[in-house]
Amino acid sequence: MPNRLQSKVAIVVGAGSIGPGWGNGKATAVAFAREGAKVLCADINLAAAEETASIITQEGGKAKAIAAVVVFGGIVVMGGNPLR
Protein backbone atom coordinates (compact mmCIF):
# COMPACT_ATOMS: atom_id res chain seq x y z
CA MET A 1 0.00 0.00 0.00
CA PRO A 2 1.31 3.48 -0.82
CA ASN A 3 0.33 5.02 2.57
CA ARG A 4 -1.42 7.96 0.97
CA LEU A 5 -3.08 8.84 4.31
CA GLN A 6 -0.06 8.54 6.57
CA SER A 7 -0.20 11.04 9.48
CA LYS A 8 -3.86 11.78 8.70
CA VAL A 9 -6.84 11.15 10.96
CA ALA A 10 -10.00 9.88 9.29
CA ILE A 11 -13.43 10.00 10.89
CA VAL A 12 -15.74 7.41 9.38
CA VAL A 13 -19.39 7.52 10.39
CA GLY A 14 -21.50 4.41 10.07
CA ALA A 15 -18.20 2.53 10.37
CA GLY A 16 -19.87 -0.64 11.52
CA SER A 17 -21.89 -3.16 9.60
CA ILE A 18 -25.45 -4.22 10.34
CA GLY A 19 -24.74 -7.80 9.33
CA PRO A 20 -21.69 -10.05 9.44
CA GLY A 21 -20.42 -8.83 6.08
CA TRP A 22 -18.81 -5.63 4.85
CA GLY A 23 -20.89 -2.47 4.65
CA ASN A 24 -19.58 0.66 2.96
CA GLY A 25 -18.48 2.40 6.17
CA LYS A 26 -16.66 -0.66 7.51
CA ALA A 27 -14.87 -1.16 4.20
CA THR A 28 -13.98 2.54 4.03
CA ALA A 29 -12.58 2.59 7.57
CA VAL A 30 -10.35 -0.43 6.93
CA ALA A 31 -9.25 0.88 3.54
CA PHE A 32 -8.27 4.24 5.07
CA ALA A 33 -6.30 2.47 7.81
CA ARG A 34 -4.48 0.37 5.22
CA GLU A 35 -3.45 3.68 3.65
CA GLY A 36 -1.89 4.72 6.94
CA ALA A 37 -4.65 6.84 8.52
CA LYS A 38 -5.57 6.72 12.18
CA VAL A 39 -9.29 6.01 12.03
CA LEU A 40 -12.03 7.13 14.37
CA CYS A 41 -14.77 4.56 13.80
CA ALA A 42 -18.11 6.15 14.71
CA ASP A 43 -21.36 4.25 14.71
CA ILE A 44 -24.71 4.40 16.44
CA ASN A 45 -23.95 0.78 17.36
CA LEU A 46 -20.79 0.85 19.50
CA ALA A 47 -20.22 -2.92 19.19
CA ALA A 48 -20.23 -2.61 15.40
CA ALA A 49 -17.73 0.27 15.54
CA GLU A 50 -15.53 -1.72 17.92
CA GLU A 51 -15.55 -4.70 15.57
CA THR A 52 -14.27 -2.53 12.72
CA ALA A 53 -11.65 -0.91 14.96
CA SER A 54 -10.55 -4.38 16.05
CA ILE A 55 -9.96 -5.44 12.44
CA ILE A 56 -7.78 -2.36 11.95
CA THR A 57 -5.71 -2.83 15.09
CA GLN A 58 -5.22 -6.55 14.38
CA GLU A 59 -3.72 -5.52 11.05
CA GLY A 60 -1.32 -3.21 12.87
CA GLY A 61 -3.26 0.00 12.23
CA LYS A 62 -4.54 2.58 14.70
CA ALA A 63 -8.24 2.96 15.41
CA LYS A 64 -10.67 3.97 18.12
CA ALA A 65 -14.37 3.27 18.29
CA ILE A 66 -17.00 5.68 19.50
CA ALA A 67 -20.77 5.57 19.73
CA ALA A 68 -22.16 8.47 17.73
CA VAL A 69 -25.31 9.23 15.84
CA VAL A 70 -25.16 11.44 12.77
CA VAL A 71 -28.23 13.52 12.05
CA PHE A 72 -28.38 15.91 9.09
CA GLY A 73 -24.69 16.66 9.20
CA GLY A 74 -24.51 17.18 12.94
CA ILE A 75 -22.72 14.67 15.11
CA VAL A 76 -23.87 13.90 18.63
CA VAL A 77 -21.14 11.98 20.43
CA MET A 78 -22.53 9.65 23.07
CA GLY A 79 -19.22 8.32 24.35
CA GLY A 80 -15.70 7.54 23.25
CA ASN A 81 -11.97 7.91 23.64
CA PRO A 82 -9.55 10.37 22.05
CA LEU A 83 -7.08 9.21 19.42
CA ARG A 84 -3.42 9.16 20.42
Ligand X SMILES: NC(=O)c1ccc[n+]([C@@H]2O[C@H](COP(=O)([O-])OP(=O)(O)OC[C@H]3O[C@@H](n4cnc5c(N)ncnc54)[C@H](O)[C@@H]3O)[C@@H](O)[C@H]2O)c1
| Chain positions contacting ligand X, by CB under 6 A | 13-14, 16-19, 23-25, 43-45, 48, 68-70
Closer residue to ligand X, CB minimum distance, 23 or 36: 23
The sign of the dihedral angle between the CA atoms of 45, 48, 54, 56 is negative
Q: What is the dihedral angle through the alpha carbons of 51, 82, 40, 1, rounded to the nearest 10 degrees? A: -100
Query: How far apart are CB 70 and ligand X at their closest, in Å?
Result: 4
Angle at CA of residue 15, ends 40 and 80, nearest 5°: 40
Our CB check for ligand X shows the closer of 36 and 55 to be: 55
Minimum Å distance from CB 63 to ligand X?
15
